[in-house]
Structure 1
Amino acid sequence: MSGKFIVIEGLEGAGKSSAIEVVKQCIEQAGHSLVCTREPGGTPMAEAIREVVKHDWQEHVTTEAELLLMYAARVQLLENVIKPALNEGRWVLGDRHDLSSQAYQGGGRQIPDSLLQNLRAISLKDFKPALTLYLDVDPAIGLQRARGRGELDRIEQSGLEFFTRTRAKYLQLASLDNSIIVIDAMQAMAKVHDDIRQAVTGFLS
């Protein structure tokens, strides 16, 4: 694979949408052809799964069902979009990837790491992003920002304790992997974007 896969991660309200635009500009200015994706989603089947995952069902959605749906959507995107683009020499910029499941389902839902490892081995093999930017925000601040955007979806309604566990897992995973760069998303937006540009420029060089 001659292309590179870069991922933006973060809690709700971390500012992923604007961060993606900054990274997109950096990559395209460097002369690389770019494909943008999101998870869950990115293919017709994966987008349908996204709607199922986010819908506020009138029944209890088990943590196992949520987890399996996430990986079903992810492997569809990986095999149908991400890998083909990378093999063509294009770069891929992802709005979330596997780190989200490790943090949200592993940390937030408290699913054992051993189960997550087995699912990753089945669906992703040894595939991982070349670079991940994790936008770190206090969950209370992030949720306040998310509420300002409108009605929260099922996962966004999971509560402060859930997102506190999710953030802790993100930070733990980032401390163990030098391909994950933590960006302080509680700074002024201009400073956040400057930090993102610096991280991506360093990677590109």
Structure 2
Amino acid sequence: MIGGSSYGSELVGQLQELRESVLWKLEGLQEHDLRRPMTPTGTNLLGLVKHLAGCEFGWFGLVFGRPAPIELPWLRPGAEENADMWAAPDESREYVVGLYRRSWEHAAGTFEALDLASTGTVPGSDRPVTLRQAILHMIVETARHAGHVDIVREHIDGFAGRGPGNDNLPHTDAARWRAHVERVQAAADLFL
């Protein structure tokens, strides 16, 4: 029912733009690069996508009495810690991306069935939350992880930008980027 609300449609549109940006950053990479840990805490591209899928199934499913239509292995009792933050060897790129897209479809069902003022309850608490609050939460969550995806991808192969057809970067060549990085490094080195 939020489709009838222009504000609700705008919120979902913003969320969808972020979702698509996250998946765009996976394009052109081999399996190893999608999976390898790029930070001391193991942050990796497929893990971020898998985590976002779980978040969407939770915030747009469980919170509103619509559990995921599939089992999420990382929610099983005794599941390995942080199992939602990396892709196990038997979880292919297609599986993780498909899982994320399925979470969008499940969310769309929630958006169709409810209005922005509809309330649900966050599992494990008595805290009520409106669908509007849940959408805003997922926009923030997805934007935060989209930033992680941006940085991880740039560390892998230098690929940067906001999305297809909108890189949101100053239009400059590699030599100008090198000069910029040298300028930033020289300023930082003054504080050694």
TM norm structure 2: 0.33
Q: Which has the larger radius of gyration?
A: 2
Structure whose residues are more often strand by fraction: 1
Q: Comparing both chains, which one has the higher relative contact order based on Cα–Cα distances under 8 Å and sequence gaps of 6 or more? A: 1
